[in-house]
A and B are shown apart, each in its own frame.
Chain A
Amino acid sequence: MVYKIAVSGRKGGVGKTTVACGLASVFASQGQRVLVVDLDPQSNTAYVLGTDPTAAGTAQLLLGQSPIPVEALEKLHVLPGGPDLTSYGVQSSDPEDLADAVEALDYDVILFDCPPGVEYLERLGWVAADTTLVCTNAHPLAVMGAGRVINELDARQQKGRRGARRYALVLSMIDLRRSMDQALDAQLASAYPQTKRLVVRQDTTLAWASAERVPVMEYDPKCKGAEDLQKIAEWVKDA
């Protein structure tokens, strides 16, 4: 089966791209053929994975063309995002278009890196995925963004709309020496008792891997962040 995972969160800077690219690296290191679909007009995903963020990508796919994904590793490919995602053609696309477009692609794992803020693009990712990871760090603004996503995913599920049936919160950049980080898990547990919570600890290695544009499992497969991401990959596969 193909795993389709949307990494979402609404707020910017909560680790969406790091988690998406980190998971992609984990799955690729396990021998799966992985594609990361970047839905962000900022086009950071391809950059982080050491490829060309200006190449044709997700926008062209949504416009019915057949862009060739760029290759970060033999088994890790990327469809870059970019400003074309804000074009009229993409904005007016049907929420199910991305879901339909990726049906034809031959990969074992497809990750959708959702943008902060831009709801019509984020929705394309939710609808195309069967699992959604909602990222938040230990800050009320991030929790607010994650809360909105969870509420929307719940509403979609109640209405029986197409899209992710399974979702989890990813608590990112967690350092339990800080009081907000300590309170976060308990708070989310009480606000969203039905939702699985996963953790990625604060780890500068993840930041360095992104900055040096190397997939994390190539950069340092033993770092704390890589460990946590592997656990998340296990949860996804555990469906």
Chain B
Amino acid sequence: MPRKRRNATDVFSSAVDTAEAIHQRDQVAETKAQEDRGRRSLLALKQIRKRETDTRPLRPNHVEELAESIAALGLIEPLVIDNQNVLLAGAHRLAAITHLKEQRPEQFAEHFADDLVPVRIMPFDAGADPEKALQVELAENEKRVNYSRDQIEKLATRLRELNYKETRGRPKKGEKALGPALAVAIGVSTRYVRKVLGEEKAEPAKKNRNSVPIFRRRQLLKKMESTLEELNTLKQVSKGREANQELDALVPELLKQVRTSLSELES
């Protein structure tokens, strides 16, 4: 015998009641989803809003150099934004990314799939708390405390070990560009890195130019010294030949002169 059905109205009213109960959870979930948005690490480029007042003007050269390094490596340090998507730190990087998107869209797409840019979202509103916003901006910029030339050279050595090459212009396929990588890593311009590394290479060359002749002279004098010493021991053998006897007479004097010159060079 078939089971007796409940009244159709009843089955609907319990559904409505459940919808009511789930609604509370829906609200909680929505709030949580919004909080989660604050923890995102990627944001669409068009959603990043510029500050209304820029504390320092952009340097077009720096923007282009950054664009070059970002084209090579992508964005290493995320842009810093507030919870309203307003930029706090990274105005040059943002300009460089925009520049890249306009000038070299393919390389842009390679690093920023779906136009998504790495960001760090700070949990405050810059409009409501401008002092904090300024602190973030300064702190971020202070991070690039000047690396000493030594430090830069050490970093360069490490990068070379990782197959980064010093090439002018765009690196070939499979090659990674050293200058831009280093520039991004320490927050200076590519040109500055190249300048520092260029001097590093130039120095040994300078030393060589001055020191090679002296070094060579010492080598020759040493050769002369040993040759003369040997000649000295051979004296007896060359009897009966006048020119050679005359030379043999000169050997002790020559040897003395060579040794004096050598010691002069070594002092």
A residues apposed to B, CB below 8 Å: 63-64, 87-89, 92-94, 97, 119-120, 140-141, 143-148, 150-152, 155, 179-180, 182-184, 186-188, 191
Select from chain A the residue with minimum beta-carbon distance to B45. Answer: A64
CB of B98 to closest CB in A, whole Å: 13
State whether B116 touches A88 (Cβ < 8 A).
yes
Tell me if B29 counts as interface (CB < 8 A to partner A): yes
Contact for B26 among A88, A148, A184, CB less than 8 A: A148
State whether B11 touches A92 (Cβ < 8 A).
no
Q: A63-B114, A143-B19, A151-B19 are in contact. List 18 more A-B contacts (CB 8 A).
A: A64-B44, A87-B114, A120-B33, A140-B14, A146-B19, A147-B15, A147-B18, A148-B19, A148-B23, A152-B26, A155-B27, A183-B7, A183-B8, A184-B12, A187-B13, A187-B16, A191-B13, A191-B16
B residues apposed to A, CB below 8 Å: 7-9, 11-16, 18-20, 22-23, 26-27, 29-30, 33, 37, 40, 42-47, 113-116
Question: Chain B at the A interface: mostly helix, strand, loop or mixed?
Answer: helix
Contact for A64 among B16, B26, B115, CB less than 8 A: B115
Please name all residues of chain A whose beta carbon is closer than 8 Å to the beta carbon of B42 when the two chains form the complex. 88-89, 92
**25 A-B pairs whose Cβ atoms sit less than 8 Å apart in the complex:** A64-B44, A89-B42, A89-B44, A89-B116, A92-B37, A92-B43, A97-B47, A120-B33, A143-B12, A143-B15, A144-B18, A147-B16, A148-B22, A151-B19, A152-B27, A155-B27, A182-B8, A183-B7, A183-B9, A184-B8, A186-B9, A187-B16, A188-B12, A191-B13, A191-B16
State whether A152 touches B23 (Cβ < 8 A).
yes
State whether B29 touches A89 (Cβ < 8 A).
no
* Chain A to chain B: the 7 pairs with minimum beta-carbon distance, closest first: A147-B19, A140-B15, A183-B8, A89-B114, A187-B12, A151-B23, A143-B15
Please name all residues of chain B whose beta carbon is closer than 8 Å to the beta carbon of A143 when the two chains form the complex. 12, 15-16, 19
Please name all residues of chain B whose beta carbon is closer than 8 Å to the beta carbon of A64 when the two chains form the complex. 44-46, 115
State whether A151 touches B12 (Cβ < 8 A).
no
Question: Chain A at the B interface: mostly helix, strand, loop or mixed?
Answer: helix
CB of A75 to closest CB in B, whole Å: 30
Known contacts A183-B9, A191-B16; decide if A151 and B26 are in contact (CB<8 Å): yes
Contact for A180 among B11, B19, B33, B43, CB less than 8 A: B11
Please name all residues of chain A whose beta carbon is closer than 8 Å to the beta carbon of B37 when the two chains form the complex. 92
Contact for B12 among A87, A155, A183, CB less than 8 A: A183
**Interchain CA distance A188-B43 in the complex, whole Å:** 41
**Interchain CA distance A25-B116 in the complex, whole Å:** 36
Please name all residues of chain B whose beta carbon is closer than 8 Å to the beta carbon of A120 when the two chains form the complex. 33
Please name all residues of chain B whose beta carbon is closer than 8 Å to the beta carbon of A147 when the two chains form the complex. 15-16, 18-20, 23
State whether B12 touches A140 (Cβ < 8 A).
yes
Please name all residues of chain A whose beta carbon is closer than 8 Å to the beta carbon of B46 when the two chains form the complex. 64
**Interchain CA distance A151-B47 in the complex, whole Å:** 30
Please name all residues of chain B whose beta carbon is closer than 8 Å to the beta carbon of A184 when the two chains form the complex. 8, 12
Please name all residues of chain A whose beta carbon is closer than 8 Å to the beta carbon of B114 when the two chains form the complex. 63, 87-89
CB of B43 to closest CB in A, whole Å: 7
State whether B13 touches A179 (Cβ < 8 A).
no
Contact for B8 among A87, A89, A179, CB less than 8 A: A179
Select from chain A the residue with minimum beta-carbon distance to B24. Answer: A151
Please name all residues of chain A whose beta carbon is closer than 8 Å to the beta carbon of B7 when the two chains form the complex. 183
